[in-house]
Structures are given as C-alpha cells and as structure tokens.
Structure 1
Amino acid sequence: MSKIMENNTPGVRSGLLLIDAGNTRIKWAFTDLPSPDDSAATPIWRASGSVAHADVSDLSTAWSGLTVTRVLISNVAGEAIAERLQHQLQLVFGKNISPEWFASSQQHAGVRNAYRNPSQLGCDRFASAIGAHRLYPQQTLLLATCGTATTIDLIEADGVFIGGMILPGLGLMASALARGTAHLPMILDQVVISRPFADNTEDAIISGCIAAQVGAISTALAFQRRDHPATEITCILTGGSAPVIGPHLPMPYKSVDHLVLIGLWTSVI
C-alpha cells in the first residue's frame, strides 16, 4: 500500500529526489536542490510519499511529472530493492539521471563518525545523525529511531557520532514473542495500551515490549548523564513506532519525521 502527499509550493530551483529505503518501507521526498548558502534548517517538501517493498512499482506513477535533476538514495533494504529502485528511476527519468547512493564515511556534513570502522555504520543512521545535528546544532543529542529495529545513538554537540545501541523494534519484538511462545497471538505494533499491567494477553505483550523500548532509551540517557552530569542532552525520537513509544517516555523529547531524508538533503549542501 502506498502513501503519497503532494505539496505544490511554487519556485522550485532544481529538483532533488531523496529516497530512504528502509527495512520495511521506502520513503521519498522531492524538494529544491539546496545551495551552499542555504540557511534553512529543513527543506520544503514539494511532494513526498512512502510505499511498502512489495509496491515499489507504484513509484513510477508517484514520480511522473516531477522535474528531477539529482537523485540521492539511502538504502539498507538490500541489493534486490536497489535494483528495483534503479529500474523505476529509469522508467520515469530515463538514463539521464544517475542515482547517487549515500554511504557512511569518516566525516561528512558536519558530523564525524567515531565508529571503529566508519563504513560499517548503517547509512540510514549516519544520515539521521547528520539531519539531527542540522536541526539541533551545538547540542548533545540522544537519537532514538524506532522502526523495524530500534537504534539509540549519541551525537555530541560538536558533531561527533559516538556510537549507539541496536535492539529489536517494537513490532519485531512483539512478533518474535508471539511466534516463539505457544498460544500467544500475533500483535501489531500500533496497539495502544492504557495501563502498564494489562488484563489480557494481547495488551500484556504490547505493554512489556513498550516497557523494554522505553527502558533501553532511558538506560542510554542514564549512562550519558552518569558519565557527563554537567552536559545538557536533547532527546530526539523518530521512526514509525515513535508515536506509540513516545507517550511512555519519562523524559522530554523532540519528535522528528523524515530524519533520514533531512540528513540526505543536508549532505548535499
């Protein structure tokens, strides 16, 4: 199933198509190509949307009519999705457009990657770090991305990506529990609970999984506060499960959508 949102704001300078191919869905946005002196913290999306992996062919319809001069892709979905994206791009734009594939590096767009092997860091996490640093410069950031997997990353105020934690996402955690335990039902991660101690099995699974997600984020914050008690930390929450997890967090946080796409846009400035 695809989701398309149009924003036909006039005055496009040059068309930039940004694509975030994640583990479950492919998100995209069309915007102006930024200039080196662009002072805007975030881009204006002229059009945007998302599709499931099974619906990649819908992208040719969504992109028809766009005047694209550059394409930048973050892909963690594997080679098969990369090939299907390449095919859709050629269908719409022909061979005049050669997509660029974003990759993690040691330093880019104001962020220094302190991973032991910088290229091993997922390109989506690096793009998100770049986007977060763009939105909240000179702030120490705890960035929790709540998707198929949940990643919790630390970016220092000077733009150093320190590292992070990876755990199963909310939906994956609930599904694994349901598959691995006799007679437990399959649960969707969109279920909302009203109290922590549930009186039925479905809500009890979700309550436990939310508690695990919240506990991981809270523990990461506690570690940083213990080691750097004088440092103010801004918590950022993003990803498809963020609206479910966010209300249960005990600390203030900023909710940001499309952080990978913001990071890709920032990377071309």
Structure 2
Amino acid sequence: MTHLLHIDCPDEPGLVFRITQVLFEHGFNIISNQEFVDQSTQYFFMRTAFAGDRPPQVVVDQLRQRLSPATTVRLATAGKRPIVLMATKESHCLGDLLLRHADGELNADIQAVISNHAVLEPLVNRFDIPFHHVPATHDRAAHERGVLALLEQYRPDYLVLAKYMRILSPEFVARYPFRILNIHHSFLPAFVGARPYHQAFERGVKIIGATAHAVTNDLDTGPIIAQDVLPVTHTHTAASMAQAGRDIEKLVLARALKLLLEERVFFHHNRTVVFE
C-alpha cells in the first residue's frame, strides 16, 4: 500500500536527510519525493509517497520526536476519498464530475449530491448517486443545519461546490477548514462576487478565466489551487463569454479536485504550494 507524507515547517539544513533517514530505518521504500522552500518566508514543504509492510504511523511518531515542534506532519493513504458535491441549478461542472467519476477518472467516491434546488435531480439519478434537495430559505442557519445533518451521515473528506450559488457562513466553513473546494467563474482576484462575466464584458477584457480555490470566510479570496484562461474578442457578449467560460470552469474544477485528492496541495497562509 502506498502512503503519502506531508511535512511543512520553517526551513533548516538537513531536513530532507533527516526525514528520509526515518523512512529508511523502518524499511520503507520511497516511491516519489518532492520538496520546495519558499524563499520569501523560508518555509519548507515536502510530499513523499512511500510503501512498506510496517504500519506507517511509526514514521509519523518518529518524525514528531526528531523534528522541531513547529513541524506539521500529516499522513494519508493513497486511495479513493469520500466527497460530497453541492450544486444549485447549473449542470456543467456537476455533470462533468459525475461523468469522470463514472469513468473511473476521479480518485474519489462521490457519496451524494446536495442541492438547494431540485432541478438537477434527474441528472444525478442517471448516475445512481443519492440526491438530496435542501430548499433554500431566507433563514440561512436553518438551511445550513439541514445540509450539515446530511454531511454527518456521509462524513466526506472534501466538499465540492460545483456551482453552488450560496455564500456559506463562517460557522459552516469552520467545520471543514480548507476542505471546501469552490469554482469561481473569473480569473481571480479580478471580478470577485456575482456576475463576473458581465463585469468582464463591461471592462472589455481580452481573456476570461476560472479559478478553483479553497473556501474561507472572505468571499472568493481563499487560497487558489488552479486557474486557467481563454481568449475572447470584442465580438463576445457577456452571454457568449459565460457560455465559453463553462468549458474552462469544469476543467479547472476537475484539475483542482484531482490535486486535492492526490494530496498535492499545501495551504500556507492564503497561498498554496502545489506539487504537480
């Protein structure tokens, strides 16, 4: 079985040697290793895939003893991760993820789809995945209690907002820190908030894009995981920009989710280190 080791800490000499020495001492084989030092903060990040017959927790215990108290050590097992998708009315991102899941492209097990509208239920039913309609009301707290009650049943590793067009409360976000993935139909930090294609059209931009980011308490400003762009011209209207943007939105969301599922993303302050 392959295990994934995440380590981040203030940089110091000899870290790679000391970490890999622990793996060697306990008979583990390193399959791949990536490391990076952020020169602006002198902070060290390392992702290591390793395999062996012994329980991997011994590595974590040893590293916590040998490395500084400021070190974060996290262990994951390579394999399918439980996720829940959340959507509203738009089908392109949700449909793309459902297709990828059906084709075995996602290293995930989609446990359910939760939506504040019933529009997408026929689509989800085609894939034999549970669909839950939690109606949107003016009482956001009541709506979120209904969603959280469902999530307690499924206990997902990640929530994926596949065009879930509601702002989540700080209390909700705190339940899943850096575990809620959102797709924003703009190349952030430009055109934050609602109607970004209309904003882009009014500004006369020559490229439009999409941004997948972790959800935080501040609207559309969470750490960015993946982005991409495509060119547009003066002939595009706001509507045709939105239509063109749907393709890039679903590709960026799928790529960001893949990176998360493969444990390739480190969150550091409001930035990310992504080992591709």
* Structure with more of its chain in helix, by fraction: 1
Give the strand-richer structure, 1 or 2: 2
With a CA cutoff of 8 Å and minimum separation of 6, indicate the structure with the bigger relative contact order. 1
Larger Rg: 2
